[in-house]
Amino acid sequence: MNWRIYLQPRRLMWLIPVTCLLAAWAVIPPALDVPAYKLPRLDGTLDRLWQITSDGTLAEAIGNSLLRLGEGFLIGAGLGLTVGLLMATNAKVTAFVEPVVAFFQAVAGIAWIPLAIVWFGFGSGPVLFVVANAIFFIVLYNTILGVESIQPVLINALRTLGGTKRDVMREVIVPGALVSVLTGLRSGLAFGWRALIAVELIANSPGLGFLSRQAEGARDGETIIIVVLVVGALWLAMDSLILGPLQERTVVRWGMVASGRRA
């Protein structure tokens, strides 16, 4: 990935609102008569960040959350992509199950948290289930849409030339659905990340969400703010370091979407 583009002046415009927010954070809370646990101060938050970084608390929470996100993503995305390709290649099956898939794709992953806790108890079980569930239906739905967008004439042309079902899958269906699949993977990872933090808050599973829950019980507003900022920063890193380059090396390079356009 070419990081030089982010050093261009137009790419640095984001520093202006960030600087304004930090300045407001440094000035406004001390000027208001509000307890620090309700409106944390910038200096107190930085001190707390140093503490939980030095003792390894933050790193452990980040590691636990990313590990479960990775596991849930592999399960949800792997199953969603596989089942989606198999279903979408059969028009009758697609017509039968697509409304059901669309329904579950619209149901937020966090809606399953109470039932997941009943099924798996507290700990890692409900976390993996909710995250994989949130990712699975988004990837599945986008895979089906991607296959449906392929012109039948392309498939028929390859078959006329003697192409087998495997050839059709490899040469037409997978490349033709790739833009939609990447959209599903990106959206699935985003929704899975949100669901992960939510279920960690409730299911007492070690991670960033549970760290925030503990801070809430201790009226530690600084740690809660740190968790919020880390969650956002980690998502930006995942999107720019993993999914962005993947898009650039596939659909952008192949001319399927214009450079700079999000899949």
Torsion of CA 165, 171, 176, 180, to 10 degrees: 80
Provide the whole-model pTM.
0.79
Flag whether 27 is in a domain: no
Flag whether 135 is in a domain: yes
The beta-carbon contacts of 161-169 under 8 Å, at least 24 apart in sequence, are: 169/85, 169/89
Flag whether 18 is in a domain: no
What type of residue sits at position 126? P
Q: What are the φ and ψ backbone dihedral angles of 242, each rounded to 5 degrees?
A: -115, -65
pLDDT at 10: 58
pLDDT digits (tens, 9 = 90+) for 137-187: 899 988 888 887 777 777 677 777 776 777 777 777 777 778 888 888 888
Flag whether 181 is in a domain: yes
Helix axes 221-238, 42-54, angle to 10 degrees: 70
pLDDT at 62: 94
pLDDT at 11: 62
Flag whether 19 is in a domain: no
Rounded to the nearest angstrom, the gap between the alpha carbon of residue 105 and the centroid of all alpha carbons in its chain is 15
Q: Write the CB contacts of 190 (distance below 8 Å, at least 6 apart in sequence).
A: 235, 239
Full residue range of the structural domain in which residue 199 is found: 58-252
Flag whether 47 is in a domain: no
CATH of the domain at 174: 1.10.3720.10
Residue position matching structure tokens 């659909």: 251
pLDDT digits (tens, 9 = 90+) for 186-220: 888 888 998 899 888 888 788 899 999 988 888 88
Flag whether 156 is in a domain: yes
pLDDT digits (tens, 9 = 90+) for 34-62: 787 788 888 888 999 999 999 999 999 99
Flag whether 7 is in a domain: no
Task: Indicate whether 72 pLDDT > 90.
Answer: yes
Q: What is the DSSP string of 194-236?
A: HHHHHHHHHHT-TTHHHHHHHHHHTT-HHHHHHHHHHHHHHHH
Task: Indicate whether 262 pLDDT > 70.
Answer: no
SS (H, E, C) 30-46: HHCCCCCCCCCCHHHHH
* H or E element, residue 100: helix 91-106
Q: Look at the chain and report how many structural domains it folds into.
A: 1
pLDDT at 9: 57
More confident residue, 251 or 145: 145
pLDDT at 78: 93
Distance CA 263, CA 247 (A): 7
Neighbours of 89 (CB within 10 A): 15
- 73 touches 189 (CB < 8 A): yes
